[in-house]
Amino acid sequence: MARKKVRKTTRKNPIKSSAVPNRKFVKLLGVLLACLTFLIYSNTLSHDYALDDASAISANYVTKKGLSGIPTIFKEHYRFGYWNSPGTLYRPVPLAMFAIEWQIAPDSPGFYHFMNVMMYVFTAFLLFWTLCKVIPKYSPILPFLTTLLFITHPVHVEVVANIKSRDEIMSFLFCISAVYFLWKYLKAKENKWLIFSILSYLLAMFSKENAITFLAVFPLLMYFFSKQTLTKNLSISALYVIPAGIYLMARTAILGGISGSKDLAPLLDNFLSGAPDTATRLASTFLLVGKYLMTLVFPHPLGSDFGYNQIPLTGWSDWRVILVLLIVIGAVVFVLKELKNKGFVAFAILYFAITFSIFSNILVLIGSSFGDRFMYFPSLGFAMLLAFLILQLLKADYRLKSNSLGTFFNNYKLPIILTVIITLAYSFKTMDRNKVWYDSFTLYDNDIKIAPNSAKLNYHYGLELNKKGLDENDPAKKGEFMNKAFQHFAKAAEIYPDYHDAYGQMGLMHYRNKSYDKAMENYEKSISLKQNNATVYSNMGIIYFERGNLSKAREVYEKAVQIDPRFVDARRNLGSVYAQLKQFDKAIEQFNQALKYEPDNAVVYLYLGYAHRDKGDNTTAQTYLNKAYALDPSLKK
């Protein structure tokens, strides 16, 4: 009897199949994420400047020099081109980018918004690609879900929709690039990749200082996700101290110290500065930590300012503080227990804690108590945690191999559907919040409803209402805007009685209503609160000038330009006073100084022409008058 041949079969075990996906497929997923990112933020491309964009771009005379301003950018503090006060920040890379973009497309906010979006789009692709390299055993599903949750989270709107926050985008992008090149080095053992990694981290530091937290992230990543020995880990990690040290030395040389200023936490921006004791400050800090966590879990409502006194100080009797403290203690205990096991959740928590530490106000008070932008780096930890919990909840096998969208979706149908539901909600909120960031008026008009007790928000909303009123031709609407602006200035001063800028603006509004005595009363109140207020001195000069008191006008204008040598309006007005006093050389000097900071100011050229004419130099006068008429034909009468 013939022996029956038994066919040998090999049963495939999907759990043990390779988790390393096809490179083309990973790139396809990355491109899909990048396209989604662009789509979500495409409604910001037509936006104008908003919030503090002026300080970095449109009102920054160094940025507006274009390429020729870049050497100054690297030699001076962040806002050197905007104000004359000592600086506390040193972030030359984003400012250099703005200068280059100004050279290409001067005063084009749409172009800067496009660049912000494209940098965020590239971040989406690179983040996904890097996570696939760092955690390959999780197939592309965990990196995919993590990146999807990260890029759609509404807490990032303040970073992407606010041009000035390019510093945050670039710092994070360069940090991720550093991790990418580090993993290339660990795999290929080629020193060039390590050099690229260190250079990327150097650029991250020169983009924004909170990249310093990655000094702890690099060894953490290698401990959890590589097979490096502790000695090798620490020796590689130590190399990143070099770019951090270079940045800190440069920062110290520019700012005169690592911090740059002893007063990093003004009360208007950080209400914790007003805490009467350490216990109250810490309790209030934990309350803020809870608000950050809640914003990540449920990102509504979002606001641009929660400064003094929207969130009042609290104490340890507040149940919310105790709840947050218990959550923090629980997280610490969990991490300590899981540290040896190198669990993914433990890494996500540690990453969040490390990157959030610099903004927590626990270690040191920073210049703001709360801001959505501070969650940009830490939110990656939240996205990792949420993505992992979704896979665990649905018991998805993260080791399945997928080399096409069809198999990828079939393998992870439920996790993808659940994540898409979450990210659809995120995306709707993100796109809706994007609209609010169209310009400063739309932002403050929306956010004043969210934070009505913020003194600073009331003040800045008043400024925007005042601008609307000045631009309005309808007398009834003009009056409505002006009255509303005055109410918000008054409320700002009511919330914070020492708000010198609010009194200065109320004085200006009284002046425009020809209530000169009330205007001077508010100006003097402002000066009593801040004696080096150049703007208020200049505004006082206008009243003195109109009243014919030229000596007093000269006195206050001289104080204004002494306080702020770049104050163009004050120099122009001081020059006019000198001209009235027949001191033409002094007048010409002031006009020339003004042109250093605003080289295309037609009115200054006009006044310079008049001064030369009145001095008797008609030839030079005509040259300047022609320049003024070329810049602004309406000046020719």
- Sequence-ordered list of residues with C-beta below 8 angstroms from that of 600, at least 6 positions apart, any chain: 631
Q: How many degrees, rounded to 5, is the angle at CA 133 between CA 28 and CA 13? A: 80
354-387 per-position pLDDT tens digit? 999 999 999 888 889 999 999 999 999 999 999 9
Q: Are 38 and 152 in contact (CB under 8 A)?
A: no
Give kind and range of the element (H or E) at residue 180: helix 166-188
Q: What pLDDT score was predicted for residue 39?
A: 98
Residue with tokens 């990143």: 240
Closest CA to 120 of 151, 90, 94, 148: 151
Q: What is 442-635's CATH topology?
A: 1.25.40
- Residue 21's pLDDT band, with cuts at 50, 70 and 90, is low
Closest CA to 58 of 47, 49, 67: 49
| pLDDT exceeds 50 at position 5 | no
Give kind and range of the element (H or E) at residue 569: helix 568-580
The structural domains of the chain, with segments of one domain joined by +, span: 34-434, 442-635
Rounded average pLDDT over 405-420:
94
- Residue 403's pLDDT band, with cuts at 50, 70 and 90, is confident
Q: Are 172 and 122 in contact (CB under 8 A)?
A: no
**What number of residues does the chain have?**
637
Token pair recorded at residue 21? 């996906």
* Angle (deg, nearest 10), helices 278-297 and 319-338: 70
- Residue 17's pLDDT band, with cuts at 50, 70 and 90, is very low
Rounded average pLDDT over 104-131:
97
Half-sphere exposure of 133 (CA within 13 A, CB side): 22
Let me know if 47 is exposed, middle or buried by CB neighbors in 10 A (0-12, 13-18, 19+): buried
Please give the Cα distance from 175 to 173 (Å, whole number): 5
Rounded average pLDDT over 225-250:
96
| pLDDT exceeds 60 at position 15 | no
Q: Are 126 and 26 in contact (CB under 8 A)?
A: no
Closest CA to 248 of 279, 287, 205, 290: 205
Please give the Cα distance from 187 to 258 (Å, whole number): 36
Please give the Cα distance from 534 to 556 (Å, whole number): 9
Q: What pLDDT score was predicted for residue 527?
A: 96
Whole-model pTM: value is 0.91
Average per-residue pLDDT for the chain:
93
557-604 per-position pLDDT tens digit? 999 999 999 899 999 999 999 999 999 999 999 999 999 989 999 999
- Residue 258's pLDDT band, with cuts at 50, 70 and 90, is low
Rounded average pLDDT over 296-311:
94
| pLDDT exceeds 80 at position 12 | no
Let me know if 59 is exposed, middle or buried by CB neighbors in 10 A (0-12, 13-18, 19+): middle
| pLDDT exceeds 50 at position 14 | no
433-468 per-position pLDDT tens digit? 999 999 999 999 999 999 999 999 999 999 999 999
Residue 194: what residue type? L
Q: What pLDDT score was predicted for residue 85?
A: 78
Q: How many degrees, rounded to 5, is the angle at CA 30 between CA 27 and CA 36? A: 145
Rounded average pLDDT over 326-333:
97
Rounded average pLDDT over 81-104:
93
Please give the Cα distance from 229 to 368 (Å, whole number): 40
- Other CB atoms within a 10 A radius of the CB of residue 150 amount to 28
Q: What share of the chain is helix, strand, coil (3-state, %, to 5)?
A: 70, 0, 30
- Sequence-ordered list of residues with C-beta below 8 angstroms from that of 597, at least 6 positions apart, any chain: 61, 566, 568
